[in-house]
Amino acid sequence: MKNTDVAIVGSGLSSLVSAALLATEGVKVSIFEQNYLPGGCTSSYWRKGYTFDSGATTIVGFDDGMPMKIFSEKTGIDFKLRKLDPPMQVHMPDKKVLTRYNDINKWMAEAKNYWGSNEDLRKFWEEMYKVSKDVWKVSGQQIQFPPSKTKDLLSLIKNFQPGQLKLVPAVFKNVQNEIDNYQLNDLTHFKQFINEQLLISAQNFAEEVNKPFGAAALCYTNYTNYYADGGLMGLIQPIIDYLEENGVELMLRNPVENIVKTKNGYEIISKNGVFRSKYLISGVPVNNTVQLCDFEIRKSNNSKILPSEKLYSAFQIGIGFKGKLDFRAIHHQILLDGKIPELDAESFFLSVNHPEDKSRAPEDHSVANISMHIRNPGNTRFDKEAVAKRVLKELDERNLIKRDSVDYLHSSTQFSWEKWTNRAFGFVGGYPQYHSIKPWQMIDARMDGDKAYQCGDSTYPGQGIPGVALSGMIAVEKLKADWF
């Protein structure tokens, strides 16, 4: 039986952030990963000479005060990333294209060109951008939120600044309230645009997403967006290198089968043996965590576990094609004029390799990832060939990827996601934002009230690279505050 200080289940980004931060403190860390590659949903894989990303994730969070910037400064990890401007283009149902410029003023001018001169529209985007900046500023200041112990409250008080109170009233509003307030409901395609943009980063629609989370989701293109050469593994690999340099044990193809609580910590029963650890961090979704543990999860967390009906998975298509995308951006959201009935989907997301990144496709070829949401993945079945055919038709008609340029194609449903990540129902993208669940009511990092902790996109603050990185930071901060 091997011993370690902290056992971490899963090697998604939140787990890797936790491991690296602990390693900087000289803590002995062991990571258990069921796959043959690290990274979880932030990873890459290879097919027929092409490198595909596990998801169509955009890289953000490196601006001042944001989680990945804080993490990079604490560890000294140097991420080699390319800046993207513009970060994204949105293809509207009428075939017109909106460019989501990084600069908020250029974006508002673009919106004005499409929806017309509308003072209320300008005020809406100014308000969303202002609130999004407040969200990230406060998140970086209050690293032990949400509070679940007196020491958290003391930390909140210590780090309190008057400006933080501005976000409290906003939590009780949703994005739809703001659309109503600025009288934007009748703008052509505006509601569909907002809902589908929210779906990317908040996993829900305007009526459900509260104003602060919605502002961050709608304005992530107004922060610096990046691309990693080699795909998402280009983001993960520098962290893996850092962990190896600092003695962290990363065990691939070693799934955890059971976790037993002992007098002095936890026993991790894995495929390749039994490990004893003083502390535990689970980076897999809480739905999976509760199935692994033979001890009780805190009731305040256990009662918030979401069923399939409230989760999303993704239908994904990987394409290798001749030539390159003849557009300014490498990320595209395509809004449909009519739903794809099999999935009740009104959009899909397309990401291609950066044209200067020659490592992901054969010469004179490009690689594309396409994804769309699957509602209630545990109970949804559909004809994936029919959906893929509809997507290819849209790509061809919009001159994004011509059908006759496609050199290779594969598609995957939620069952492939479940096999790849082992996540319950194959759900991805994290827990959706729901207006009835306020930020302080989201799943907390403290798992059992003792020495076990939880991070990842099912805990506060939720999905996306900045969100899961912050959750990993919070888990470490609470562990240290409790025991170190």
Please give the model's pTM, rounded to 2 decimal places.
Answer: 0.96
**Predicted pLDDT at 162:** 84
441 φ, ψ to 5°?
-100, 0
* Percent with pLDDT over 90 in the chain: 93
Please give the structure tokens belonging to residue 124. 């809406």
User: Measuring CA to CA, how many Å separate 443 from each of 153, 172, 293, 301?
Assistant: 17, 18, 17, 5
Beta strand spans in 330-399 (E): 331-340, 345-352, 365-375
Length of the chain measured in residues:
484
336 φ, ψ to 5°?
-95, 145
**Predicted pLDDT at 448:** 95
**Predicted pLDDT at 300:** 86
pLDDT-derived band at 299 (thresholds 50, 70, 90) equals confident
Helix/strand/coil for 477: helix
Contact at 8 Å (CB) between 329 and 86? yes
Average pLDDT, the chain: 95
Contact at 8 Å (CB) between 138 and 132? no
Please give the structure tokens belonging to residue 9. 């289940």
Please give the structure tokens belonging to residue 290. 């509760």
DSSP-assigned states of every residue in 24-86: HTT--EEEE-SSSSSBTTS-EEEETTEEEESS---B---STTSHHHHHHHHH------EEESS
Centre a 10 Å sphere on the Cβ of residue 347 and count the other Cβ atoms it contains: 22
Q: What is the average per-residue pLDDT within 285-306?
A: 93
DSSP-assigned states of every residue in 174-236: BHHHHHHHTT-TTSTTHHHHHHHHHHHHHSS-TTTSBHHHHHHHHTGGGS-EEE-TTSTHHHH
Q: Which residue has the tokens 């609130």?
A: 131
The kind and range of the H/E element at 385 are helix 384-397
User: Measuring CA to CA, how many Å separate 318 from each of 49, 99, 369, 380?
Assistant: 12, 24, 5, 21
pLDDT tens by residue, 11-50: 999 999 999 999 999 999 999 999 999 999 999 999 999 9
Over 90: is that where the pLDDT of 344 sits? Answer: no
Identity (one letter) of the amino acid at 220? Y
* Percent with pLDDT over 70 in the chain: 100
pLDDT tens by residue, 181-223: 999 999 999 999 999 999 999 999 999 999 999 999 999 999 9
pLDDT tens by residue, 363-412: 999 999 999 999 999 999 999 999 999 999 999 999 999 999 999 999 99
- Please give the radius of gyration of the chain, using alpha carbons only, rounded to the nearest integer: 22
Q: Which residues contact 234 (CB under 8 A, 6 or more apart)?
A: 80, 81, 228
Distance CA 342, CA 118 (A): 36
Beta bridge partners of 316: 371, 412
Strands 249-251 and 29-32: parallel
**Predicted pLDDT at 56:** 60
Strands 225-227 and 265-270: unpaired
pLDDT-derived band at 346 (thresholds 50, 70, 90) equals very high
Over 70: is that where the pLDDT of 239 sits? Answer: yes
What do you get for the CA distance between the two ends of the chain, in Å?
25
pLDDT-derived band at 274 (thresholds 50, 70, 90) equals very high
pLDDT tens by residue, 409-443: 999 999 999 988 999 999 999 999 999 999 999 99
